[in-house]
Structure 1
Amino acid sequence: MFSEELWLENEKKCAVARKPKQGRKRQELLAVALGVKVGITGFLWPPLKLFACPQISSLVRRAALTQSDTHFNYEKTHNFKVHTFRGPHWCEYCANFMWGLIAQGVRCSGLKSEGLYRVSGFTEHIEDVKMAFDRDGEKADISASIYPDINIIAGALKLYFRDLPIPVITYDTYSKFIEAAKIANADERLEAVHEVLMLLPPAHYETLRYLMIHLKKVTINEKDNFMNAENLGIVFGPTLMRSPEDSTLTTLHDMRYQKLIVQILIENEDVLF
């Protein structure tokens, strides 16, 4: 991650340290290694030029030490793992750009990962997981050594629920859940939700119960991942329940009730199931 001051300082030092011809040659080598083309004027895209300067490692170390002493003092703990991003990536904390050939940064993995289920993993990796299950079934390897980014696994799970021909909350019970969500009294609403849950087929009920137990664990780590029951309801509402009517207007109207139903299921998991 590079601040604007570090960028300008690096630009000046690179210009002094290298003659134009040497800089041009080094940039061409970088371009070949990265599979990109050098522009007509002979300059690489600015993030790639950082590798052409021999002083960059010391600059990065110095900037990291300085920033860690003055700006980044987080209370929460992380389980960081080295991660290689495909393509450009922006730091979620400081919004600065990260770039590298291999292992450009680190990500926090597990239930404490910030934005769990909200932050999207790379689509091609999610598709890889889907294909692995289609091909190998229960033998599919989704361990951290193969997919170190937890958002890939979370994305694959959401994709599975979205692709079900019949949603976990079935079409037959959809309208009943929506009506239950509209009840103003909290106790009566909870009782109505429980009654509709009993109408779900056994497989759907058990799947929903298992998922709610998991999502409740996610909310327990809300201090670290910033995902409470309401946020998870926004994510999983349209994923777990879909209107039998193919109407955009109906879908938009029901979104707040979909969110509320999932929120209620998570917050009252121990009572409803």
Structure 2
Amino acid sequence: MAYSPSIIVESSPKLGLPTEQSIMDEAKASNTKQFAIQAEVSPSILQKIVAEFLGTYILIFAGCGAALVNKVQPFGIVGIAIVWGLALMAAIYSLGHVSGAHFNPAVTIALAATGKFSWKNVPTYVLSQLLGGILASLTLKVLFHDQEDIHATMTQYSDSISDLEAITWEFIITFILMLTICGAGTDHRGSKDLAGVAIGVTLLFNVTVAGPITGASMNPARSLGPAVASGVYKNIWVFMVAPILGAMAAAMVYSALRVPKPEKSADCTKSIYNDLYVQTVP
């Protein structure tokens, strides 16, 4: 009988399709790596402070500058309000990803009071905002030296309005502004792409309504800057206290409307640093 050699074919490893669990594990590992990279490139505290200084400077330079231009070429309270709103929108979209776009000591304090910002960084944020407001006002005083004074930039109210009425006005409009910030800028359910528009528009109609009555401060830095530049501090305490109280009240009220943020799903790739106004500095 002839011998026929047998050919032994070794079985190759089984090429199985990836399981659902393996896909999820790989996606989670990828997301973890991505978040780690994002954490590494997060702006430093110095960069955030500089961004807050610049944003506040831009806001107050443009808004108060519009009030001074209005004395030369009148365009009314609506025109001034539009400038305020557009300036805030521009600052949010250009610097919000760096510092969170507070540009307002009342906003910073309110976010810290509700656990959305680190208390240890409140002093540096507030100081940079106040300095930005003061420098912007001094710049305007130099540039508009042909005008006798810059009282048009100040937030004041007439003798016919009591301190309590002024506090109420500032409390309400700051409450509305902060509520918009919380809903559009800090809630994960909000549309972050339109947050700057919503917040800018809110500032616009607040200035339109309350501007002729109290100057529509809503921001201690906005009131302190012109006061330092002009040397007039009448009723300054109203514009320092009322906005902070209004912002804190709005932040606390919105805390009751907020729902817990769900855990990120496997296919979620959104940056944890995308939220405007929620920049909890390590």
Q: Please tell me the TM-score bracket, short chain as reference.
A: under 0.3
Pick the structure with greater CA Rg. 2
* TM-score normalized by the length of structure 1: 0.26
* TM-score normalized by the length of structure 2: 0.25
Q: Which structure has the highest helix share of the two?
A: 2
